[in-house]
Amino acid sequence: MKSLLVKIGNFLHCEDGPTAVEYAIMLSLIVVVCLMAITTIGTKSSSVFSKVANSVH
């Protein structure tokens, strides 16, 4: 248990911790933007396909 606390303490004092957090935040923002773009594209394409289907009938 003590070694785990020492490792956590070293991680917090090391420069790698903040860098890892920054990368995690950037990755989460990229994922959110991608999901929003995919949702928007899906909605728009669904609308187009519905218009085409209605015009064929």
Taking the domains of the chain in order of start, what are their residue ranges? 2-56
Higher pLDDT, 1 or 50: 50
Instruction: For residues 38 and 17, give the distance between their C-alpha atoms in angstroms, rounded to a whole number.
Output: 32
Please give the pLDDT value at position 17: 64
pLDDT band at residue 32 under the 50/70/90 scheme: very high
Cβ-proximal residues to 17 (8 Å cutoff; 6+ apart), any chain: 11
Please give the pLDDT value at position 19: 79
pTM here?
A: 0.58
Q: What is the mean pLDDT of residues 5-23?
A: 77
pLDDT band at residue 38 under the 50/70/90 scheme: very high
Please give the pLDDT value at position 16: 64
Give the orientation angle of helix 2-13 with respect to helix 16-56, to 10 degrees: 80
